[in-house]
Amino acid sequence: MSALRFTRSLPLLASLLLAACATGPRGLQIDDSYQSLNQDSRAQLLILHYTVGNFDSALKTLTQPNPGGGEVSAHYLVRDEPVRTYRLVDESRRAWHAGMSRWKSWGNLNAASIGIEIVNPGRVDTPDGPRYVPFPQAQVDEVVRLCQDIAARHRIRPDRILGHSDVQPLSKQDPGPAFPWKQLWAAGLIPWPDEALADALRPQYEQALPDATWFQQKLAQHGFGLTQSGLWDAETRKVLAAFQMKYRPARYDGEADAETAALLDVITRRDGFRMKDGSLPR
């Protein structure tokens, strides 16, 4: 290189060196020209909720301080009418949406998850008794697109896209039995139990239903956090109801039956919990 060409290159080299350094607090120079390949996203789970209220009340609750304490927030709020997605908390920050939660080896999931609140009143009283309000299809489509985007960017595993009732089954029911989880399976987002295999296994459980210990072990193997008491206690029934609400929403009374046993058997088999294309979740 000639002296002239080298001299002309000096400003470019200097600018590249400066670009590799960021000025931090107190004038600290941080050089980020090297990036480790040994890293991943802090967001390991995606958790869906319903708001139990309309858009205005949900927006206020999720964005304003609560004078009585117990503030809550979520990364996203999906409106019902008109359908629109609002980002309330940056994904790089922790939102307060999961409470005292647990799933498999994770606890206190706020730090490791992204939360989506879906505007929906949840359970309402009607002249015919209580019922859960369906989600408009346009809103479901919006949730599916949002989940696809988040899961792709953070590489969130399909079996880590969950409901609030999965991670806090003793006190939460959202997004409830009216949420169409199977549409998320059809969209390639989550795995689903092999229903044909469950139907084939059902007769054996109609002949002999497993005891409480079996149900507790299977629920824990799937991912729920619950005490292995060996008893049909209130905790076990609530967790079982959360499982039924998602995979057998026609009846979610928390009572053990052959259909629920067959679904639990299938879902805890390595080859029984599959994606729409037949692959295993990974």
List the catalytic residues.
Answer: 117
DSSP state, residue 124: E
| Dist. CA 147–CA 163, nearest whole Å | 12
Nearest to 214 by CA among 251, 169, 256: 256
| Dist. CA 188–CA 101, nearest whole Å | 26
Write down how long the chain is: 282
Q: Distance of alpha carbon 264 from its chain centroid, rounded?
A: 20
| Dist. CA 11–CA 234, nearest whole Å | 72
| Dist. CA 4–CA 15, nearest whole Å | 18
Nearest to 143 by CA among 123, 115, 167, 113: 115
